[in-house]
Structure 1
Amino acid sequence: MELIQEADTLELVHEHGNWSLSRETGFSPVQLLTASAAACSTYVFEKLLDERGIPYEMKNVSFNYQLGVYYPNPIGKIDVHFFIKANQRVREEIEHVFYQIAENCPIIQSLHPHIKINESIVFI
């Protein structure tokens, strides 16, 4: 991977189009880190559900984060919400798999232990 400097913005080089890294015009590094945690959680969750043959439809994943109050203001917590459409009879199985996300997600495993990861399922 490569970062290039374009004017006042860094760009993360990608074959399908570069990502702008800037607080004003693109993604900040903190946003990329939290998005990576949410995306990894989603990929892991879907993989575990698919491996078990559990029928579901991932409708949306939303996430937000909170910085610490003291300098250098590290990330204090990341909230990830999975909006899933599933039959009532498989919801308990989905919840069982849900609790296996953190131990199978390399991004979450790489984060500092002081960063609280709050994940939830919203059945729709």
Structure 2
Amino acid sequence: MELIQDRDRLELVHEQGNWCLKEGAGFSPVQLVAAATAACSTYVFENLLNMREVSYEMKKVVLDYQLGSCYPNPLARIDVQFVMKVEGRDREQVEHVFYQIAENCPVLQSLHPRIKVNESICFA
């Protein structure tokens, strides 16, 4: 991976188009941490469900984050909500697998313990 300085912003080099890293013009580094947490949790969740051949449809993943109130405003909380369509008995399987995300997600495991991660499922 490579970061390049482009005028007044940083860009993360990617073969399919660079990502702008500047709040207001692209993604801030804090937004990337929150998004990486949600993305990794989603990958892990779906992989575990697929390995168990659970039938589901991931409609969307909604995330939010909150900065701490003390200087230097570290990331305090990340909320991740999985909006899913699941039929009948598969709900029990989904709920069972849901509780295995944290122990299998390297991004979650890499976060400082003061960062509270709230994950939830909304069955649509």
Distance 1:24 1:96 in 2: 39
TM-score normalised to structure 1 length = 0.99
* Runs of 4 or more consecutive aligned structure 1 residues displaced over 2 Å after TM superposition: none
Unaligned runs of 5+ in 2: none
Q: What code does the residue aligned with 1:73 have?
A: N
SS in 2 for 1:95: helix
Match of 2:71 in 1: 71
Q: What code does the residue aligned with 1:28 have?
A: S
**2:48 is the counterpart of 1:51:** no
SS in 2 for 1:118: strand
Match of 1:24 in 2: 24
Deviation at 1:88, TM superposition (A): 2.1
Deviation at 1:75, TM superposition (A): 0.6
Match of 1:40 in 2: 40
SS in 1 for 2:89: helix
Q: How does 1:1-124 map to 2 (within 5 A)?
A: 1-124=1-124
SS in 1 for 2:30: helix
Question: What number of residue pairs does the alignment pair up?
Answer: 124
Deviation at 1:4, TM superposition (A): 0.3
Deviation at 1:24, TM superposition (A): 2.0
For residues 104-124 of structure 1, what are the alpha-carbon distances to aligned partners after superposition, in whole Å with 9 as ceiling and x for unaligned? 000000000111110000001
SS in 2 for 1:73: coil
Structure 1 vs Structure 2 CA RMSD: 0.5
Deviation at 1:89, TM superposition (A): 1.6
Distance 2:112 2:87 in 1: 36
